Amino acid sequence: MDYKKILKELVSILAVSGFEHMSAERIRQLMEGKCDEVLIDSFFNVTGVKRGIGERPKKIIITAHYDEIGFLVKSIDEKGFVTLTSMGG
C-alpha cells in the first residue's frame, strides 16, 4: 500500500466542517477489506470493527480528526479588502 499516495489523496479532499462526507466515504473505502464492519454515523465519524479471536481478544482504538478549518468571505469593501470568517475550529 502506497501510504504517501493515500495521504496526499486524503488531504486533497475538501473536508471543511459540515462537508466531511467525502472524506468519510473515502476513509470507509480504505478500511473495507481490513475490517469486519465499517460504519459512518450522522456526524460522519467512521468506525471500523475488526473482531478478535479467542476467549479474551485484545481491544484497541485508533482515532483521528480529519475535518479541516476553512474560511468564508464575509465581505469585500470598496478598496478590495476581504473580510473572512472561519468554518470549524
| 14-63-50 Cα angle (round to 5) | 110
Angstrom distance (rounded) from CA 69 to CA 84: 12
Q: What are the phi and psi torsion angles at 47 (to 5°)?
A: -120, 125
Provide the domain count of the chain. Answer: 1
The pLDDT-based confidence of 81 (bands split at 50, 70, 90) is very high
Judged against a pLDDT cut of 70, whether residue 89 lies above it is answered with no
Average pLDDT of the segment spanning 15-21: 84
Q: Is the pLDDT at 22 greater than 80, yes or no?
A: yes
> pLDDT digits over 27-77, tens only?
999 999 899 999 999 988 999 998 888 999 988 888 777 778 888 899 999
How far is 39 from 48, CA to CA, in rounded Å?
6
Q: Please say if the pLDDT value at position 8 is more than 90.
A: yes
Look at residues 76, 40, 81, 46 and name the one whose alpha carbon lies nearest to residue 62: 46
Which residue has better confidence, 14 or 30?
30
Q: Which domain holds residue 21?
A: 3-87
